[in-house]
């Protein structure tokens, strides 16, 4: 196959939960990684997804029924990204027949290369037997994390096991697990590869701490790397909490620094950009995406949001976007203020949590009518805000009047305080009178 992905003599970004999303993968490629693995994604969740070509972001998204993006990819990483599908990880090591059946089915069912990543078994003989069975399924490569199932990152990697597997099979073997002791800089990658006797190397934590470890010219200052990561996260609309997690992993022992505390406190991409002193980059990126969105919609294209009924509840597919509202103001506050002016009862919220992914959905009742977003949110607070947004949009309530009123009140308070400061004291009045 033309452009078929090769796993011989490569350096790869290893699969890491919550880390291997699109911004980190693109950054690793920029710095010199040959191949990037995405985070491990569970097969049953992916089977429920629909494939969406995102024209605004210029990505291909796999979207869950609750509208969460489970996997996002773009042209830049085409032919260099590996989709990591989980089958409950190390638990499968105890079921070699199942491993063989799964891999055989995959290899025969897809036209792209299939690889397998394993941990080592307590017995070297059992490890080699498993590796040979895996090779016979037709996989393109075997990645070996050189630790036993119960060992943690603090335990030394067993390079002898990796080397024995590499000698026992003909397919490329990718060594993994050297970040703690063996790989600190780019120059250490070759040393780890030679110590393990492997064809290739994949890096997890060393790359998570500073993805510029892939640079042959040497690592870049961490702050510069963090800014480049943030720019990719903004460009591809990465979830703010995922971006925050990755930035905190880069900070490591400096996560309690002033910068670290600002990053931890951020609740959305705007606040994350402010924490990194990159608000201009945020606004430029949002303007570019908004312009592309408007151009794609065009004058004849209908709005994306459709009002629907779910029983006696009016619904719309809307998310709460914190950046769309003025500081310190929220949709719930807009709705409450409107209700008070209309002399209605205060809006009430009823929230439920879904068991399978612990997501939230809220219904707001205003004047005995119910409103709800059909999308699920990550927190109870966001779910309530989303239901308030739906109510505001359905009723056609302007969401700016409260902001203007707040601004006028702030200006009035400021002017009042200024006048109060100008007001003469009793002593000054007495002096003036005399």
pLDDT digits (tens, 9 = 90+) for 238-268: 999 999 999 999 999 999 999 999 999 998 8
Query: Residue 60 class from Cβ within 10 Å (0-12 exposed, 13-18 middle, 19+ buried)?
Result: middle
Query: Residue 132 class from Cβ within 10 Å (0-12 exposed, 13-18 middle, 19+ buried)?
Result: middle
Partnered with residue 369 across adjacent β-strands are 366
Angle at 58 between CA 76 and CA 65, to 5 degrees: 110
The residue with tokens 């191949």 is 35
DSSP state of 211: G
Domains in the chain: ranges and CATH:
11-214 (3.20.20.70), 222-297 (no CATH), 308-402 (3.30.160.20)
Residue 382 has pLDDT above 60, yes or no: yes
What stretch of H or E contains 56?
none
Q: What is the pLDDT of residue 180?
A: 76
pLDDT digits over 336-347, tens only?
999 999 999 999
pLDDT digits over 280-335, tens only?
999 999 999 988 888 887 655 445 457 888 889 999 988 888 877 777 789 999 99
The residue with tokens 């239901």 is 387
Under a CB-based contact definition with an 8 Å cutoff, are residues 215 and 203 in contact? no
Q: What is the pLDDT of residue 89?
A: 62
């Amino acid at each position: 196959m033309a452009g078929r992905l090769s796993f011989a003599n490569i350096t790869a970004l290893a699969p890491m939960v919550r880390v291997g999303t699109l911004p980190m993968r693109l950054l690793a490629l920029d710095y010199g990684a040959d191949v990037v693995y995405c985070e491990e994604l569970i097969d049953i969740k992916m089977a429920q997804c629909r494939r969406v070509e995102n024209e605004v972001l210029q990505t291909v998204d796999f979207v869950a029924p609750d509208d969460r993006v489970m996997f996002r990819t773009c042209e830049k990483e085409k032919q260099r990204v590996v989709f990591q599908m989980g089958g409950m990880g190390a638990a499968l090591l105890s079921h070699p027949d199942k491993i063989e059946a799964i891999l055989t089915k995959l290899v025969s069912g897809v036209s792209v290369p299939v690889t397998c990543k394993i941990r080592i078994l307590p017995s070297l003989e059992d490890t080699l037997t498993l590796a040979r069975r895996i090779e016979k399924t037709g996989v393109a490569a075997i990645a070996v994390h050189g630790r036993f199932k119960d060992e943690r990152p603090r335990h030394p990697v067993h390079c002898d096991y990796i080397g024995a597997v590499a000698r026992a099979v003909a397919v490329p073997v990718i060594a993994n697990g050297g970040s703690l002791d063996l790989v600190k800089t780019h120059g250490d990658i070759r040393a780890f590869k030679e110590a393990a006797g492997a064809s290739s190397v994949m890096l997890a934590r060393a790359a998570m701490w500073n993805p510029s470890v892939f640079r042959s010219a040497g690592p870049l200052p961490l702050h510069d790397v963090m800014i480049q990561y943030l720019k990719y996260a903004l460009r591809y609309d990465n979830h703010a909490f995922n971006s925050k997690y990755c930035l905190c992993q880069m900070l490591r022992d400096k996560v309690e620094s002033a910068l670290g505390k600002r990053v931890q406190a951020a609740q959305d991409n705007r606040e994350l950009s402010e924490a990194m002193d990159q608000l201009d980059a945020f606004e430029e990126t949002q303007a570019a995406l908004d312009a592309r969105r408007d151009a794609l919609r065009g004058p004849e294209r209908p709005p994306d949001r459709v009002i629907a009924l779910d029983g006696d509840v009016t619904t719309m597919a809307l998310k709460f976007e914190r950046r769309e509202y003025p500081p310190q103001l929220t949709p719930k506050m807009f709705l409450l203020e409107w209700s008070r002016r209309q002399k209605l009862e205060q809006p009430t919220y009823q929230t439920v949590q879904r068991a399978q992914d612990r997501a939230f959905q809220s219904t707001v009742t205003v004047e005995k009518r119910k409103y709800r977003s059909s999308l699920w949110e990550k927190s109870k607070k966001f779910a309530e805000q989303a239901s308030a947004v739906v109510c505001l949009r359905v009723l056609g309530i302007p969401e700016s009047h409260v902001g203007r009123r707040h601004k006028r009140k702030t200006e009035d308070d400021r002017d009042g305080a200024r006048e109060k400061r100008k007001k003469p004291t009793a002593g000054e009045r007495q002096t003036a009178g005399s």
